[in-house]
Structures are given as structure tokens and as C-alpha cells.
């Protein structure tokens, strides 16, 4: 009887560990031109003529944005690095279109909508870029419903459009940011690379 109980406990333990590993945190990986991250539940097919970012490129892009912040925002940005992860980035060098995938781990039980309202507030508070920020909506992407907002700005006669997609996974907020200078149809086309 003890032997059966021991085997049963081992079986339950093994199944529990296997189930835990399904959603285990992962940075994902590139195989040829396909980025896959099982933790985030995303797959991205690198479009033709696009280049994926190296780890060094990701770090440089993430630090570049802090130059546009005021002192209080810079302090918040430094704190957010503790709970933020940049997974993947790619761009089309010919057009300037780009995609960034990151997440933020929250210690609070927040909704994706609440998180997205925070993103909206931060964009509107930027002093260096005058963003026109849309209302938050929902949009399906690769079989999931994301909270979405669009931020537009004209900088030196160039029209910049960024579209932010947010989805909650446990205590993480998956954030996909698509950036273009070619209009909203270009973002729609870019997002087709997600499966």
C-alpha cells in the first residue's frame, strides 16, 4: 500500500511540475526567421526585408526612450527596468517600421485595461513629444483579444504612428508596440506577422 501511495505521489508531483513548466517564464527564441515564445503564447514570422534586433540592439532601443523623459519620469523608468523584459524587436531598415515585444511584471492584481490607461497617461504626459492618443479599444490579434491604443505625432513634418497592444498573462502585461511613418494600414500589415 505504501508503495502505491509513493508512486501516486510521484505521479502527481511529476504532473504538477510538467504543468508548471508549460507556463514557465521564457525569453523565447528565434529559429530561422520565426520568433516563438511559449510563455507569452506568441509567434512572429519575420517579414521579408526585415531585420531582427540583437540583444544589444534591444538594450539600446529601450534606453533610447529615457532621453525624452523629464526627471520624475526618468526615475520611474529606472524602477520599471527591474520588472520589465524586452523579448524581441525587429524592423524594416528601408521603411523604418518596427515591432517591439516586452512585458512588465506587476506586484499588484491589475487589469489589462487599467495597465493600458497607465500607458495612455504616460504618453499624454510626455513633454518632448506631443502625442494625440486614441481612446482605448479592443482588437483581436493572433486569436487573442488585446487592449489597444494608437498614438500619433508630427515631428519635423514626419507623421509618427505607434500602436500599443496589451494582454495580461498571470502577473505579466505583454506589450507589443508597432511603429511606422507610413500610416495605419502599414501597422495592420505588420501585425499579420503574428500567429
d(CA 93, CA 90): 9
Domain ranges in the chain? 28-191
Residue 124: which residues within 8 A CB-CB, separation 6 or more?
Answer: 131, 133
| Residue range 26-50, pLDDT digits in tens | 889 999 999 999 999 999 999 999 9
For range 126-134, the mean pLDDT: 89
d(CA 118, CA 158): 26
pLDDT over 70 for what percent of the chain?
A: 77
Task: Kindly tell me the sign of the dihedral angle through the C-alpha atoms of 48, 54, 56, 58.
Answer: positive
| Residue range 71-122, pLDDT digits in tens | 554 544 444 445 788 899 999 999 999 999 999 888 889 999 999 999 999 8
Out of 13-27, 52-66, 162-176, 179-193, least confident range: 13-27
Say whether domain 28-191 belongs to CATH 3.30.1300.10.
no
For the entire predicted model, the pTM comes to 0.79
**Predicted local confidence at residue 25, as pLDDT:** 76
Amino acid at each position: 500500500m505504501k508503495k502505491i501511495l509513493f508512486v501516486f505521489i510521484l505521479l502527481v508531483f511529476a504532473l504538477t511540475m510538467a504543468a508548471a513548466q508549460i507556463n514557465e517564464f521564457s525569453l523565447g527564441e528565434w529559429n530561422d526567421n520565426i520568433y516563438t515564445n511559449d510563455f507569452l503564447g506568441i509567434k512572429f514570422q519575420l517579414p521579408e526585408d526585415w531585420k531582427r534586433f540583437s540583444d544589444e540592439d534591444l538594450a539600446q532601443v529601450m534606453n533610447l526612450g529615457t532621453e525624452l523623459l523629464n526627471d520624475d519620469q526618468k526615475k520611474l523608468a529606472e524602477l520599471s527596468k527591474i520588472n520589465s523584459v524586452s523579448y524581441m524587436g525587429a524592423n524594416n531598415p528601408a521603411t523604418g517600421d518596427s515591432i517591439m515585444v516586452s512585458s512588465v511584471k506587476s506586484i499588484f492584481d491589475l487589469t489589462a485595461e487599467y495597465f493600458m490607461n497607465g500607458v495612455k497617461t504616460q504618453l499624454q504626459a510626455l513633454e518632448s513629444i506631443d502625442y494625440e492618443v486614441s481612446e482605448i479599444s479592443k482588437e483581436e490579434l493572433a486569436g487573442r483579444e488585446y487592449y489597444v491604443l494608437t498614438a500619433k505625432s508630427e515631428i519635423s513634418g514626419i507623421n509618427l504612428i505607434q500602436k500599443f497592444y496589451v494582454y495580461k498573462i498571470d502577473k505579466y502585461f505583454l506589450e507589443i508596440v508597432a511603429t511606422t511613418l507610413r500610416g495605419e494600414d502599414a501597422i495592420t500589415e505588420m501585425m499579420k506577422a503574428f500567429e
